Amino acid sequence: MSRIGIIADVHSNLPALSAVTSHADRIDEWWCLGDTVGYGPWPNECIAFLKRLGAKTVAGNHDLGVVGGISLERFNRDARIACEWTGRVLDATDAGWLAGLPERLAPTGAGALLVHGSPRDPLWEYILSAEAAAANFKLFEGALCFNGHSHVPALYSLPSGARAAAGVPEATETADGEVTRMRDGERYLVNAGSVGQPRDGDPRACYVVLDTIDGWFAFHRVAYDISVTQARMEEEGLPVLLARRLALGR
């Protein structure tokens, strides 16, 4: 294993997923951090795409919500409508695949933990602050944890030495194509952003590349034809707000 493509929150957005995988170069393996479905109009197609990639995948709250694995009471109105629609159109085999996804995954030999929300609460917690990151650094042992759920790319690092002993992580801005070289003894909590519905003001699909041999990772943003997804969502009668926000990255 050398170069890994890491995606999160695809949300049934096939053009965005296709754009990301076409953009990525020399990927040996794919990891998916949950919420493959929900919101968007191509749930079966996105699942089939991930299966073809052989992606190692964890469950997100939308993945389990559409198959009845968790209640939809905590979802907002539009998210609930989209989940209910997804559940109706989902192929039975794909529904079984979603229902069987683990909440945590540690790929062999990678020294990384994969979750959707956080190590503390894999389905629901949003890590949006250094304080939340600090609590979660205590709950995994390796150098790397990758998560999603917030739809906002983020990077928290915990250096070795006194700062690590105090449990105070450092938040670092993420930039398109910028490489972070991992340092010995330093630990990282990395939010891979969202492929299908970014919420950081940038509507381009987001993903991360990890090089386990040379010891670095980098965030990437990829433009795709948002209008194609919006048009299909309108055809399927999905909530208008969910389609509009794609162009805003909010």
Q: How far apart are CA 144 and CA 109, in angstroms?
A: 12
Q: What is the DSSP string of 85-101?
A: HHHHH--HHHHHHHHT-
End-to-end CA distance of the chain: 35
Higher pLDDT, 145 or 141: 145
**Which pLDDT score, from 0 to 100, does residue 162 have?**
52
Q: How far apart are CA 157 and CA 164, in angstroms?
A: 9
Q: How far apart are CA 65 and CA 26, in angstroms?
A: 34
Q: What mean pLDDT, rounded, does the chain reach?
A: 95
Share of the chain above pLDDT 70, in %: 97
**Residue 102 scores a pLDDT above 60:** yes
- For each of the domains in the chain, give its residue range(s) and CATH number, in order of start: 3-248 (3.60.21.10)
**Residue 165 scores a pLDDT above 70:** no
**Residue 163 scores a pLDDT above 90:** no
Q: Distance of CA 17 to CAs 29, 64, 78, 204, 207, Å?
A: 15, 20, 22, 11, 10
Q: At what angle do helices 92-99 and 43-53 cross, to 10 degrees?
A: 60
**Which pLDDT score, from 0 to 100, does residue 194 have?**
98
117's tokens: 């929300």
Question: Whole-prediction pTM value?
Answer: 0.95
* Dihedral angle computed from the Cα positions of residues 91, 96, 102 and 107, in that order, rounded to the nearest 10 degrees: -70
